[in-house]
Amino acid sequence: MTPVDLSAAERLRVLRDVLGPLVAQGAIVRRPAVMAWAERRQSDRRLIGTLADLRHRHGGAPLVVRLGPRSIVLVSRPDDVARLLQGTPTPFSASTREKSAALGQFVPHGVLISSAAAREVRRPVNEAALDTGRAVHGDAELITKVVDREAEQLLSDARERGSLDWPAFTDAFQRCVREITLGPAARDDVALTSMLTALRRAANWSYLHPRRRRLRQELDARLHLYARGAPPRTLLGRAIARAEEDGTTTVADPAGQVGHWLFAFDAAGITVFRALAVLLSRPEDRDRVRAEGEDPSSDTTLPFTRACVLETVRLWPTTLVVLRESTEPTAWGGRELPAGTGFAVASAFFHRDRERLDFADAFTPGAWLDGRAADDWGIVPFSGGPAVCAGRDLVLLVASRWLTRLAAGDLSFDRSVYLARQALPVTVDHYGLRFRADGARGESSQPEEVAAG
């Protein structure tokens, strides 16, 4: 369809309801105070409503938003999403100006912000490390052992304290991630994660924040040190082996990919924590996850638990917006858009599209088991096409294992009524989730109503 230019009033609405809240929440690391505000306001509801309204008004045409010299085109139909994602890296590059400026703060050689030529070298190295395309990672046995150990320790600490909150969970999750990625020597390297978090905070401002060069060099030096002694059965060890095999070590820069992996695992942790809240609110689903985790024949594929993870990231996507930038002029209906045009897919709008999806707001893991969700170009929590998340399969392995372990613990959720509803809230602040660990192998405890929803 031919793109339409938004009027000044429509542009303001998009800035206020769509782009503003996305930037405020923090694209690279979420800001806790804004997340709490966003949950109270259910800010994604306005985003969804505004985009649905503009789609109606303009018959599904791509919406051109002029922002000074730059134009961003918001698409509102799944076939346009498919065109952008399948057309990556040319004519639609994943390395947009905003993303390059942001990720350049901590992972300047990352595959996601690489030129088409460098991508050809770096993508296979990422795929070898993460075992992309294989449901069960080659080192799954080792990986799941690490998960089990950390989850058990976390549950035991939680029982002692009487509760499990985000800070305790993320500390344990990051210990697990560092060990899987870099080896046992990195398990307790909290300073590494802190460095990365500081760089990610700067990255939230994209090109509006000056480069923190010294800190990035420190991070780089630390990662290269790990690279020297990386055990072969770690993500970094696997990446190094593949780059050596391909003779591409200099361009591929295996240690230079690690920043993206550590950063992206944060999204996996957020998803586990939200999924846990949902499961503790829905005893039937929780019991199915527990049973799957206890059944030796369900091995590491855990289909229902994986579907719960996917469904959680559909309902609350961690990549708020997928961006592309055209590398050449592209034809859209009767109009040509110049090279350098930005394109945006607002995930929450597509994932909660009531006009297209009869399960838009409902927790429906079954949609991932019967193909309804997986085959839909409007449902892209891990993106799609040639630059699809290279860590998708690994995330599902790690997250589902964590979930079975935590679901089997003696946890309960006081706000369970909030997530037991048929129509789930559009914004959930993971920082604010807190579970009780009082020893009663949790039937849901007395619910407490909250304002949002």
Q: Which residue of this chain has its Cβ atom nearest to ligand HEM in the complex?
A: 391
- Of 47, 146, 230, 387, the one binding ligand HEM (CB under 6 A) is 387
Q: Is 126 in the site for ligand HEM (CB under 6 A)?
A: yes
Structure-token match 């542009």, residue found: 11
CA distance 230 to 73: 43
Exposure class string for 361-383: b at 16+ Cβ within 10 A, else e: bebbbebbbeeebeebbbbbbbb
Residues in contact with ligand HEM, counted by CB under 6 A, come to a total of 27
Q: Identify the helix (H) or strand (E) that includes residue 96.
A: none
Binding mask 312-351 for ligand HEM (x = CB under 6 A): -x----xx--xx----------------------------
Q: Is 230 in the site for ligand HEM (CB under 6 A)?
A: no
Residue 263 in contact with residue 200, Cβ under 8 Å?
A: yes
28 versus 54: smaller Cβ distance to ligand HEM: 28
**Pick from 86, 89, 66, 65: nearest CA to 75:** 65
12 versus 116: smaller Cβ distance to ligand HEM: 116
Q: Is 271 in the site for ligand HEM (CB under 6 A)?
A: yes
Query: What single-letter amino acid sits at 256?
Result: G
Q: Is 182 in the site for ligand HEM (CB under 6 A)?
A: no
Q: Is 391 in the site for ligand HEM (CB under 6 A)?
A: yes
Mark the segment that binds ligand HEM (CB under 6 A) among 6-14, 43-51, 391-399, 415-423.
391-399
Cis peptide before 91 (omega within 30 of 0): yes
For 193-305, strand residue ranges (E) read none
Q: Is 267 in the site for ligand HEM (CB under 6 A)?
A: yes
Least distance CB 254 / ligand HEM (angstroms)? 12
Least distance CB 59 / ligand HEM (angstroms)? 27
Least distance CB 96 / ligand HEM (angstroms)? 8
Least distance CB 409 / ligand HEM (angstroms)? 21
344 half-sphere exposure, CB direction, 13 A CA radius: 23
CA distance 32 to 102: 19
Q: Checking DSSP bridges between strand 335-337 and strand 330-332, what pairing results, if any?
A: antiparallel
Residue 127 CB coordination number (10 Å): 18
What would you report as the CA-atom Rg of the chain, rounded to the nearest whole angstrom? 21
Binding mask 103-122 for ligand HEM (x = CB under 6 A): --------xx----------
Binding mask 50-89 for ligand HEM (x = CB under 6 A): ----------------------------------------
Q: Checking DSSP bridges between strand 63-67 and strand 92-93, what pairing results, if any?
A: unpaired
Site residues, ligand HEM (CB under 6 A): 94, 111-112, 123, 126, 130, 260-261, 264-265, 267-268, 271, 313, 318-319, 322-323, 381-383, 387, 389-391, 394-395
